[in-house]
Amino acid sequence: MADKKMVEEITSMDEDFAQWYTDIVRKAELIEYTSVKGCMAIKPDGYAIWENIQAELDKRFKATGVRNVYMPMFIPESLLEKEKDHVEGFAPEVAWVTHGGLEPLQERMCVRPTSETLFCDFYKNDVHSYRDLPKVYNQWCSVVRWEKETRPFLRSREFLWQEGHTAHATAEDAENRTVQMLNVYADFLEDFLAIPVIKGQKTEKEKFAGAEATYTVEALMHDGKALQSGTSHNFGNGFAKAFDIQFTDKDNTLKYVYQTSWGVTTRLIGAIIMVHGDNEGLVLPPRVAPIQLCIIPIQQKKEGVLDKAYELKETLSKVARVKVDDTDKTPGWKFSEAEMRGYPLRLEIGPKDIEAGKCVLVRRDTREKIEVALDEVAAKVPGLLETMQKEMLERARAHRDAHTYTATSYDEFKKVFSEKSGFVKAMWCGCKECEEQIKADLSVTSRCIPFEQETLSDVCVCCGKPAQKMVYWGRAY
């Protein structure tokens, strides 16, 4: 029984998805609760996933001309209040600093919930001429939002993220950058995290405070709820006018810059868990997995077994990220632990295998067991990891498509949401009142107006007036 104990401590996802999720983040040792209410300690295994996300995204950002900077974590109140919509949007979540040491501050400062105002203040002095543009900056940092309800990775009072902030000479350049960064996110989620996404625009009601347009990538979790996985905002020149960010253009006239901002957070780790995980634990896509292959020696006290395991590690480390589990736990326990931690491949090797010149590779995603000759294993592993990466994306896409429905009447719309979970595609008139009605009736929000439009009918699913756009609707995290 001891071997199974670890898995028995995970609640089944069909029984209680929220508890299943919490069990996994704790049992796989990704996160731990702290004495700081609403804030999490990200443990080494969790942080290693974030480091891989960060390294890959940073590389992709830099390929588009992005440079990293760092801004202060405090924002004076007067600065935050310069853009009315922006401050109103964040007011309920702001944490304030009122004292420096024992002295009350002359002006209270907030701990950054996001850094638009700081970047604007910076650009005001940094941009003078069209020759100074574009400014394409990003920062990796943490932000603080005083959330009432928190959940590991998905929502915490302090979380890690990157926030890009750019300034451009023309509205067209700003729009191009906004869409370009959304595409970087979409490609990254699909290529690296094996998470398929819907790309589109947020409605006026759901867009970022102070933005002209917000674009989003929306993913569907295993329980049929949506997760906003990355956003990119076009600010037009609204912030520039509020902060007086002007430059001398080629025609020698003063003009306001056009700005964008874009970000993803540690909630991406939550997305990986909820898209790919199962009742045995975490299932990590190979490209993001900190450990891609775990070697488990069987009867490791027998002569030559551990030596062979370390020898294999040395060989395989040239083609994958490898660890040897040489703890004194039973093989059964080690198998369960490797599954819990989501290692894409495990390699089992014992005295009989060594004698026969072979080993067993086990895929975490399908549990398929593959016998491989020891002298061929290094050649076999990279292809196997690539196959897993590709098939995990295909399975996630198939799951999403199977849980995407269409509705052309309000009765049908309500019926789908009362009986099923997932995305519902339906036509919309463009009125905020209909969005509010739908939210009040069903606790459902517009997820995005997809770039790829379809005409499902001529009328709004809610009010029956002429339809303007097809929208993805869903319940979200």
DSSP string of 362-403, one letter each residue? EETTT--EEEEEGGGHHHHHHHHHHHHHHHHHHHHHHHHHHT
Global pTM value: 0.96
Which burial class, exposed, middle or buried, applies to 263 when counting CB atoms under 10 A from its CB (0-12, 13-18, 19+)? buried
pLDDT for 3: 47
- The pLDDT score that the predictor gives to residue 126 is 97
Contact status, residue 365 vs residue 396, Cβ threshold 8 Å: no
Q: What is the maximal distance between C-alpha atoms in the chain?
A: 82
Give whole-number Cα distances, 377 to 242, 293, 353, in Å: 61, 12, 13
Q: What is the pLDDT along the chain (477 residues), one digit of tens a residue?
A: 344 455 557 999 999 999 999 999 999 999 999 999 999 999 999 999 999 999 999 999 999 999 999 999 999 999 988 877 887 888 889 999 999 999 999 999 999 999 999 999 999 999 999 999 999 999 999 999 999 889 999 999 999 999 999 999 999 999 999 999 999 999 999 999 999 999 999 999 999 988 999 999 999 999 999 999 999 999 999 999 999 999 999 999 999 999 999 999 999 999 999 999 999 999 999 999 999 999 999 999 999 999 999 999 999 999 999 999 999 999 999 999 999 999 999 999 999 999 999 999 999 999 999 999 999 999 999 999 999 999 999 999 999 999 999 999 999 999 999 999 999 999 999 999 999 999 999 999 999 999 999 999 999 999 999 999 999 999 999
pLDDT for the residue numbered 8 = 59
**β-strands 445-450, 198-201 pairing:** antiparallel
Taking residue 130's Cβ as centre, other Cβ atoms within 10 Å add up to 16
Sign of CA pseudo-dihedral 383, 388, 389, 394: positive
Write down the number of H helices and E strands in the chain: 15, 23
Please check whether residue 232 is in contact with residue 262, taking contact to mean a CB–CB distance below 8 angstroms.
yes
Position 113 scores a pLDDT of: 94
DSSP 281-309: B----TTT-S-SEEEEESSTTSTTHHHHH
What domains can you pick out in the chain, each with its CATH number?
Answer: 2-75+115-276 (3.30.930.10), 293-384 (3.40.50.800), 404-474 (3.30.110.30)
Q: How far apart are CA 24 and CA 21, in angstroms?
A: 5
